[in-house]
Amino acid sequence: MYHGRFKGSHYEAGYKWGALLNKRGQKLDNCPTYEVGEKRIQFGKECKIIFEKYYPEILEEVKGIADGNEISFEYLCGMLFSMYCFSFDNKCTCFAINNGDQILFGRNSDFLVNLEKLYMNCIYKLDNVYAFNGNTTAFVQMEDGVNEEGLAVGLTFIYPKLTKPGFNAGILLRYILEKCKTTQEAITAIKTLPIASQQTLTIADKSGDIAVVECNSKKVVVITPQAGEDFVATANNFNSAEMQDYKNPQIDDWRSCDRYETAKKALINNKYKYDLDFAMNLLGGKYGFMCQYDRKTNADTVWSVVYDLKNKKIWRVEGNPGRKKFKEDVRFEIK
Amino acid, res. 104: L
CATH number of 91-328: 3.60.60.10
CA contacts within 13 A on the Cβ side of 23? 7
What is the per-residue pLDDT for 248? 77
Packed helices 73-81 and 56-69: angle between N→C axes, nearest 10 degrees: 130
Label residue 276 exposed, middle or buried (CB < 10 Å: 0-12, 13-18, 19+). middle
Query: What is the predicted pLDDT for the residue at 113?
Result: 75
User: Helix, strand, coil % (nearest 5) of the chain?
Assistant: 35, 25, 40
Give residues with Cβ within 8 angstroms of 30, minimum separation 6.
none
Residue pair 92/108 in contact by the 8 Å Cβ criterion: yes
User: What pLDDT is stored for residue 294 in this prediction?
Assistant: 76
Block means of pLDDT (10 residues each) for the chain, length 335 residues?
A: 96 98 95 88 97 98 98 97 79 93 96 79 98 96 98 94 93 98 98 97 98 97 96 94 86 77 96 96 94 79 96 97 96 97
Q: What is the pTM of this model?
A: 0.96
Secondary structure (3-state) at 206: coil
- Look at residues 105, 86, 126 and name the one whose alpha carbon lies nearest to residue 5: 126
The DSSP annotation for 249-281 comes to: TTS--SSHHHHHHHHHHHHHHTGGG-SHHHHHH
pLDDT confidence of residue 88: 59
Residues 6+ positions from 128 with CB-CB distance below 8 Å: none
257 with 76: CB under 8 angstroms? no
What are the structural domain ranges in the chain? 2-81, 91-328
